[in-house]
Amino acid sequence: MLLQIFLTFFKVGLFTIGGGYAMLPIIQEAVCTEKGWLTDEEFLDSISLTNSLPGPLATNCATFIGYRLKRVPGSIAAILGTICPSIIIILLIAMVFNTAMDNAYVQAFFRGVGPAVFALIVSAVYKLATKANIMKDKLTLVVALASFALIAFAGVTPVLIVIAAAVIALVADSVKKSKTAAGAEEKGGSNDGSHS
């Protein structure tokens, strides 16, 4: 199992250029669709959690998933699988950097990779938004749009956005629970009255 975790994340790290959000659809495909280790909803929850923590998103996500599967050894296997391809590739590039960067084929490669990374990020955002039912939940949609506007146009730090969104979610959940409890009490009272 540990070898499977390592190899799965090694493949993710090896074939993902752009890191971070560009890795999400590939991790989701490997972990949810191919291996069935997590459901899409559990994967979305893991992204919400790991995205609010310091450090690179991909390694945080790998750590969480590895821990869910095999505790600390699973986390170590997932982290090593994620970072080993990057270390190997960086060492190889460092050996031939000066000659490679002047090569027309290498320059063309990086020009082509840029739009592909952008497409991967958009794909990840779309999939996560669909799984989170953003379009069905008005509060979630408002928070998502407001967060985007504040980060993109007002320059608000994402840390404040994450904290504010968490507070809004806690307040909304508390209000929803109190309304549900009040409705249940009211229904119970009306039932008692009908029996008497």
Say what the pTM is.
0.60
- Same domain, yes or no, for 54 and 69? yes
pLDDT score recorded for residue 73: 94
- Same domain, yes or no, for 143 and 195? yes
Burial class (CB in 10 A: 0-12, 13-18, 19+), 167: exposed
Mean pLDDT of the chain: 82
pLDDT score recorded for residue 9: 92
- Same domain, yes or no, for 88 and 143? no
Q: What is the pLDDT of residues 144-153, one digit of tens each?
A: 889 989 988 9
Q: What is the pLDDT of residues 26-43, one digit of tens each?
A: 888 889 889 999 988 888
How far apart are the C-alpha atoms of 184 and 181, rounded to whole Å?
A: 5
- Contacts of residue 62, defined as CB under 8 A and 6 or more positions apart, other chains included, come to 9, 12, 27, 75, 78, 79, 81, 82
pLDDT score recorded for residue 180: 81
Handedness of CA 86, 88, 94, 99 (dihedral sign): negative
Q: Which tokens is 2 given?
A: 């540990």
Residue 28: give the domain boundaries: 1-132
Q: Select from 78, 98, 132 the last residue of a domain.
A: 132
Does the structure show a pLDDT above 50 at 65?
A: yes
- Same domain, yes or no, for 2 and 90? yes
